[in-house]
Amino acid sequence: MENKIYNNMGSEVAVGFICKPKKLDPNKPIMHFKTQLFICDGERCSKTQKGNDLAGKLRDIIKELELHKGKNRIKISRTNCFGACRFRQVAVTFENTKVNGNLVNNNIWLKNIHKYDESKWKELFLALSTNKELREDLYAQVPMSEIDE
């Protein structure tokens, strides 16, 4: 007897995958998220993790906090190089302003995330889920230059 696996959207998952739907419905919308956190997984940044699956660990923390579903859902996405290597591993926040209108933590670049422990990640995720401002004294941020005209 075959065990069927279903993803967060309720679709049956293709054999050998974690979330890929067995049957593609091109008209089905993507799952709602309140916040998306892009984690740099470029060559230099991924070396700071020494083979650890940071995105997978963060997804587990989000599930533990029950922020993997519902109106405050946080989505973790890996990216290639952001070009901010001098700040070691970085991440950037993206708030789904179409749904929640929050601009408090939109486009916040976090540096040295390889130094975060589990409690720091939990603190960050809870702050994001409640629109608590990510203050620079609590979360080191990548400085952004001004546009020269």
CA distance 121 to 14: 31
pLDDT at 16: 83
- Averaged over 121-138, what is the pLDDT? 93
Which is it for strands 35-40 and 74-79: parallel, antiparallel or unpaired? parallel
Rg (CA), the chain: 17
In single-letter form, the type of residue at position 75 comes to K
Candidate from 73-77, 102-106, 137-141 with smallest mean pLDDT: 102-106
pLDDT band at 146 (very low <50, low <70, confident <90, very high): confident
For the record, the structure tokens of 115 come out as: 């130094």
- For the domain with range 35-129, which CATH number is right: 3.30.110, 3.40.30, 3.10.129, 1.10.3470? 3.40.30
| Domain spans, the chain | 1-28, 35-129
pLDDT band at 48 (very low <50, low <70, confident <90, very high): low
pLDDT band at 35 (very low <50, low <70, confident <90, very high): very high
For the record, the structure tokens of 109 come out as: 């670049």
* Structural contact between residues 37 and 76, judged by C-beta atoms closer than 8 angstroms: yes
For the record, the structure tokens of 92 come out as: 């950037």
Top-confidence residue, 117 or 1: 117
pLDDT at 75: 94
* Structural contact between residues 39 and 48, judged by C-beta atoms closer than 8 angstroms: no
- Averaged over 25-41, what is the pLDDT? 85
Question: If you search the block for the tokens 């130094």, which residue do you land on?
Answer: 115
Instruction: Please report which residue ranges of 15-75 form alpha helices under DSSP H.
Output: 43-47, 54-64
Q: Which pTM was predicted?
A: 0.79
Rounded to an integer, what is the distance from CA 51 to the centroid of its chain? 18
